[in-house]
Structures are given as structure tokens and as C-alpha cells.
Structure 1
Amino acid sequence: MCIALFLWQAHPLYPFFLLHNRDEYFSRPTEPVAWWDNGDILGGRDGLAGGTWLACSRNCKIAFVTNVREVAKGPQPKSRGDLPVRYLESKMNPTEFAEEVVMEAHQYSGFNLILVDLCSKSMIYVTNRPKDDKALVSEVPPGIHILSNASLDTPWPKAVLLRSNFEKFLEKYGAGELPAEDMADKLMRDTTKADKTTPPGVYSVEFEYLLSSIFVEANTEQGCYGTRSISALSVKTNGEVSFYEKYLKESWKEHKVSYIMEQTGTS
């Protein structure tokens, strides 16, 4: 489970601004945000399957994925974390890669995938669990968007709360610089729970209740589960990228990586 709020082509200083929580079992091996072996991909890495939930590249690309809340069934499917990596390693633009993913979408459990190319100002949303017979692939319009474990911009209570609190920050800072680290701390560590009658009802009422906050903390029969990393990823109009991460590894740690995107044209 994860939740992401992002601002796309709707701010004079930031063509892209993202706040993101990754929720996972604490026992699952995970590597914090770092440059990968080839030095072209920056992101966290799942130590079990090898993929990522959120990463970016030197050449204008960003990708992140969330699962769709559903009860698992059937044989072990392909890892959804491979999808962002494949996009970032490819020479395809978001639309081209989305078309490739659709051809194999049935091989994965439910997912939501965001593909970004800053150079061409393109953002595409891909899902294999479309809501109300909508398209599997769609272009994301400029504005504020929320992605959790249902379709893009589904108004789950915690999504509505996060958007509302984010908008208050925007009102305060206007067209100026946004305090990304402060926003991550204040907005993404919110433990406010939804009313027990409002969650989607995929899991038990008690587990749904524990998952209904932006920042998740839960004890389950499989072990501790909850938010393991909080990220703020921003791209300025001059191509400056800042990737801040606060992550849990025995205790909470934090670090930040900055670089300039290579704006050499569309990919």
C-alpha cells in the first residue's frame, strides 16, 4: 500500500512536485534511495524482487507504482516494481511504454503506474484495474492529483485529507519555493483514521481502519506493517531535482540527493 500526492504542470517554479509514502511489511528487505549500479537511475530498491516503487533518471524521466487493493489469488504474478525500472531504462516515451505494458497487464496483480517525461511535458497513467470501464491508459492533465490503492484521484478519506492539507501549503507559499521536507513531515506523517464505515471493504474492518490513515502503523499476524519511507521529489523549471527520503531502518533516518536533469529533448 502507498499514497502519493503530486502537482503536475500547475506551479510556476515546479513542473513536478511529489509527496509519497511507501507502506510495506517491516521484514521485507529494502534499500534506501541511491543511484543504481549504472548511475542513471535514482530510487529505492526492493531487496526481494529487485524493483522499485519510485525512481527517476538523469534524462527527464520519473516513474512510480502503487498496488490496487484487492485479495490476492492465483499463482504468483510478475513483480509490479519492475515496471518503473523498465520504463526508466527504456528509450520509449510514456505513451509508447504504456502501450507495451497494456499488452502484458494481465500478468500482474492490480497496479497503478505513473510515467513522466519532463522534457516532453508528458504524464501517462496506466492501470490494469480500470474503474467503471474507463481506459487502461490515459493522459494526466495539469493540476493536483492523488494516487493511493484505487484509481487515480479516487476520493478515499485519506486522499481527500492529504489534498486539502496540501492545498493549504500552496495557499501559504503561492508561487514561491515549497518547503518539501517540512511538507513531507507535516503532511505524510498524519495518523488520522477514517470512520470505520467509509473504507472500501476489501479487507477486514479492523485492517481497513489501520490502513485508512496517510501514515500507517499496523501489527498483523504476518508481522509489523506500515509506512517505511516518506519521500519528497521535486523538479524545478531549471531542471534541478531534489529527492528527499526519510526511511525506517531500525530507526528513522533521512537523506537527500540533488542533481540536474539532462534536458536534451524528448526521449
Structure 2
Amino acid sequence: MCLIAFAWQVHPRWRLLLAGNRDEFHARPSAPLARWHDLPIIGGRDLEAGGTWLGATQAGRCCVVTNVRDPNDPQHGTSRGLLATDYLAGSDDATTHAQSLLAAAPSYRPFNLLTFDTAHGFYIGNRPSARAQPIEPGVHGLSNADFNTPWPKTRALMQRLQAWMDAGHDVDVAPLFRALADEHQAPDDALPDTGVGLERERWLSSAFIRGERYGTRASTIVAVGYDGRGLIVERRFGAAGRFEGESELTFQASGN
């Protein structure tokens, strides 16, 4: 993923409510949202490295990973997507997992990781050094920088998620998809400087990125209720932002 806003333990119905865009090269092979046949994971799948950028489980766990935008940081190490797969397929709760991952975090490519179970959420990152912090109840954002870094598109998506909740929504996710489809670029004086040059900073500053070789590949909404019921909706896009399909899956945690 490259842009995420989420509400944790503040919506009256949804324990976790998350909206995010995955930006990637269009040539990289991926499978759409599905229940995996070989692991207890619900999500899309990177067919090159085998992991996922966002997934959930029938037990109400969820995990999301982003990269870190820094052209001077070599992309060496284990694939980030395996972080999400390992958490979702594992048995450790979010707290135990965060503590145990710290030792191995430097061996992965630059990453930001969000993990959630039925009670706790964690942010784990490995740049500039490995660290983990519990997620407090509230509305948060993440892109290709540190947790809650106020990039314009991150702030904007957080504000639209907050507005969605303030309006009393709990089922109609169309306004969230409209927020993820926003192609408005930030003014130059609000852009971050991540070392990719002004033109590329402008292009990457919109929520939805349209391009022939690289751009937004998927927009996804995840909602996990306090009662264990969950919903994932994914919209997929090809080169130049061409719509390629939509999938929706629901689940119910056992024992709820």
C-alpha cells in the first residue's frame, strides 16, 4: 500500500475501518482479492514475491504494509509483503508479534507495517531504525513515510474518513472510494521533499495516481466490527487508471 487512513476503536460499529490505495508498477503480476487456498488469509496477492500488501483473517486480524520512499536507501533484503503474510498466518497476537519482529526488522526492505488483532494495533517500522509502537484509538494515516507523517494526501484522506464517520455512515462506502479516487495534486509549497524531484513529487501527491507504467492498482476498504463481522471491498485498476473490476468478501469470526 502507499496511502492509508484508518479509524481504530472509535467508530460505533467498526473496531477497525481502513481505506487505502496500493500503488505499484502495472507489469507486476497480482491476484485479486480472494480467500487463499493455502493460507488462512483474505486479500490480494503479489504473484512475484508471494506475499500481500493488505490482508485479513476469519479471526478478525488485519495487516497492511507500505514501502518507504527514499531513493538513496537500497531496496535490499526480504520482501515486505512476507511481513503481512507471516503475521496473518501466524499465531502470535499483535503485541507478541511486534516485540518479536523488532530483532528481524532490519533484514527486510524498508517498510511500515500495521498489525491488528481483536484488541490491539501496532505500527512497526525499520527506518531509520527498528521500532514498534501501540496504536491509540483515533483516526490515523500512513503513506511512504513515518507513521502519521502529515503529507497532504494523508491528511486529506484522514479528514474525509473523519467526515464519513461524523456523517453517521456505517455501510455506504461510496464516499470513501471517492476519496481514494481523488486526483487533486498538492500545491508545491506543501509537497514533501523525498529526493525524487519536484515533478514526481507533484504526481505522487494525489490520492489516486494515474500512469501508464506505474499507478494506483487497487483501492480497498476494510471494516472489521466489534461483533467479529468483517467486510473487504477491492476495486482494481490497470494502466492509465483503467477500471478492471471489483470484489467484495465478508467474514464472521468464529465464536461471535
Same fold (TM over 0.5): yes
Matched, 1:157 2:152: yes
Alpha-carbon offset, residue 136 of structure 1: 0.6
Moved more, 64-73 or 45-54: 64-73
Alpha-carbon offset, residue 98 of structure 1: 1.5
Aligned counterpart for 1:138 among listed residues 133, 136, 155: 133
1:60–1:262 contact (8 Å) kept in structure 2: no
Query: Matched residue of 2:189: which SS?
Result: coil
After TM superposition, the structure 1 = structure 2 runs for residues 1-267 of structure 1, keeping only pairs within 5 Å, are 2-38=2-38, 40-71=40-71, 73-74=73-74, 76-118=76-118, 121-129=119-127, 136-173=131-168, 177-180=170-173, 182-202=174-194, 203-219=196-212, 224-249=213-238, 251-263=243-255
Identity %, equivalent residues: 33
Structure 1 spans left out of the alignment, 5+ residues? none
Alpha-carbon offset, residue 218 of structure 1: 3.3
1:210–1:218 contact (8 Å) kept in structure 2: no
Alpha-carbon offset, residue 152 of structure 1: 1.2
Moved more, 141-150 or 70-79: 70-79
Per-residue CA deviation, residues 151-179 of structure 1 (Å, 9 max, x unaligned), is 11111111111122222222212xx5241
Paired residue type of 1:248:
F
RMSD, aligned CA:
1.9
Query: Matched residue of 2:70: which SS?
Result: coil
- Tell me the matched-pair count: 252
Write the distance in 2 (CA, Å) between the matches of 1:109 and 1:74: 8
Query: Matched residue of 1:106: which SS?
Result: helix
Moved more, 242-251 or 30-39: 242-251
Q: TM-score, normalised by structure 1?
A: 0.88
Query: Matched residue of 2:190: which SS?
Result: coil
Per-residue CA deviation, residues 9-58 of structure 1 (Å, 9 max, x unaligned), is 00111111110100001111011110112362101001111110000111
Q: TM-score, normalised by structure 2?
A: 0.92
Write the distance in 2 (CA, Å) between the matches of 1:163 and 1:170: 11
Alpha-carbon offset, residue 72 of structure 1: 5.2
